[in-house]
Structure 1
């Protein structure tokens, strides 16, 4: 069996690790020209779902080395107002870890680096009896038994395969960056949110050597051209928008660095579709707002479940159908939870009904 994977994000890399471990031929095609050309985030939350998935797909020594770099936060979500008065505390069950996203990517890359072809953007595919052929924008083609769209929220696989599947704006924009660990030490939780008037939110997540700090607001309340702003301009903008907030919050923002803006979008759940030799995982099918902290964990879970289904050795289409049934149910359930949390705490637009 040969599996073609479009996309070398966390889900695609985890899938490639699982397939290689099962002795299945895998070719990963990534549109970026290297794994370092885009900023994709910093600290990453791993729940039991993600940790179990990594246990399934990674070599034990690599997984142990990765987890040795992790930080264990208090297992709770805490929300404050701008004076740092506590508003909500939600305790979490299970194990929760904070890891550096690049450290996780590097660990996954180490097992499958030779399977990845960079600078190859999927242009389309053609499914036929017994095989599927992927076509890339450089004119090359690759034929295999299965094509997996692991190519993220702007998935070219989804666009052709499920043209009716929508990705919509949440109405929110987030500025995402890093701060030194020290000012965030008192907020060592799975996630801490400070929510203020006008749906303005500062999010803090502590990890071993630093903390992530984000600022979110309604898109209409932010100026255009955020991507063209300097770091000083972004800091000044958010300091102006958090005028009068607690001095600790202001100190965090003043120490912000490596900040980049991101429009928050979400998929809209759709009914199951007929199973073929083309399938999807992670953000390519069930992208969600970060309000449930579940996106990366579900991508890793999808990868582990799909690699196990393909390694089982039974008929291909029933194996893919079994994977998709669970992926669709749990993935879109998480989309709905994230949307509900985002609407409640962040001012996210309601999820469209269809």
Structure 2
């Protein structure tokens, strides 16, 4: 069996790891020209789902080294007001890791570098005669028995395969950056959210080497000019606790991200084309679940493709679980995002 994977993000790389050495021929095609052409973001949260998925797809020694080097936060969510008074706390239980996204990506890349071809932007695919052919912008093609869209929220595979499936704006923009770890040592939770008027939110989470600080607000409140972002955030948090103001003054490497979410759709007929991660069920970060779901999808799909059973029933079983749990997480993240961040409701 030959599997064509479109996208070398976390999910696509995890799938390649899960298929490597199983007898399945896997090839990954990535539109970026190289793995270092753009930033990959900062801190990610991994819970039981993501940790178990890594154990499933990675070589044991590589997974053990990665987990041993990761930061372990206290397993709770804390919401505070601008005076830093605690408004609510939730204990999660289970296992939790705070990891650097680039370090996770490097771990997933280490054993599958030779399977990836860069500079390949998918323009279309053709399915016929028990085979799927991917067509790229440079005029080349690649054929396989299965095509997997692991190409994120803007998935070219999904656009052709499920043209009715929508990814929409949440009405929010989030600014991501870093602050010195020592600034937030006593806020070492899975996530701490300082929530102010008009759903303006400062989010804080530690990693081993730094803390991330995010600021969320309605998109219409934030300028498009990057050089104005810090000064505007300082204005929007005027009167907040001096400690938050000091964190914002130390904020660095800031970049904006317009938050989007998929709109759940009904299950589709299973074919030799399938999806994983954000390509199927993009969600806002309010649930902290995106990376975990992508890794879980990859581990589940790898298991389906190597089960040795008829292909379509295995893919159907994978998709049934992926759709149910993925869209449940989309709905939960949307509800949480509406309550805490002021996210727009999911369209019906």
TM-score above 0.5, yes or no: yes
Once the two structures are overlaid, the 10-residue window that deviates more, 234-243 or 212-221, is 234-243
Verify: 1:290 aligned to 2:276, yes or no.
no
Structure 1 residue 188: deviation in Å? Answer: 0.3
Alpha-carbon separation, structure 2, partners of 1:182 and 1:215: 19
User: What's the counterpart of residue 338 of structure 1?
Assistant: 333
Structure 1 residue 234: deviation in Å? Answer: 2.5
Alpha-carbon separation, structure 1, partners of 2:23 and 2:245: 52
In the TM superposition, what are the counterparts of 1:1-354 in structure 2 within 5 Å? Answer: 1-223=1-223, 225-226=224-225, 229-230=226-227, 233-353=228-348
Contact persistence 1:148–1:281 (CA under 8 A): yes
Structure 1 residue 36: deviation in Å? Answer: 1.6
Structure 1 residue 21: deviation in Å? Answer: 3.5
For each residue in 1:106-125, what CA deviation from the matched residue of structure 2 results, as whole angstroms up to 9, or x when unmatched?
01000100000011000110
Structure 1 gap segments, 5+ residues each: none
Alpha-carbon separation, structure 2, partners of 1:251 and 1:31: 39
Structure 1 residue 68: deviation in Å? Answer: 1.5
Aligned residues between the structures? 348
Alpha-carbon separation, structure 1, partners of 2:341 and 2:43: 20
Alpha-carbon separation, structure 1, partners of 2:346 and 2:271: 28
Alpha-carbon separation, structure 2, partners of 1:82 and 1:37: 38
Contact persistence 2:5–2:150 (CA under 8 A): yes
Give the secondary structure class of the aligned counterpart of 1:68. Answer: helix
For each residue in 1:315-349, what CA deviation from the matched residue of structure 2 results, as whole angstroms up to 9, or x when unmatched?
11011000000000000000000000000111000
For each residue in 1:84-110, what CA deviation from the matched residue of structure 2 results, as whole angstroms up to 9, or x when unmatched?
010010110210011111111001000
Alpha-carbon separation, structure 2, partners of 1:183 and 1:23: 49
The two structures, once aligned, show a CA RMSD in angstroms of: 0.8
Alpha-carbon separation, structure 2, partners of 1:21 and 1:286: 28
Structure 2 gap segments, 5+ residues each: none
Contact persistence 2:281–2:330 (CA under 8 A): yes
Contact persistence 1:21–1:57 (CA under 8 A): no
Structure 1 residue 221: deviation in Å? Answer: 1.4
Give the secondary structure class of the aligned counterpart of 1:111. Answer: coil
Contact persistence 1:24–1:311 (CA under 8 A): yes
Alpha-carbon separation, structure 2, partners of 1:268 and 1:38: 28
Structure 1 residue 199: deviation in Å? Answer: 1.1
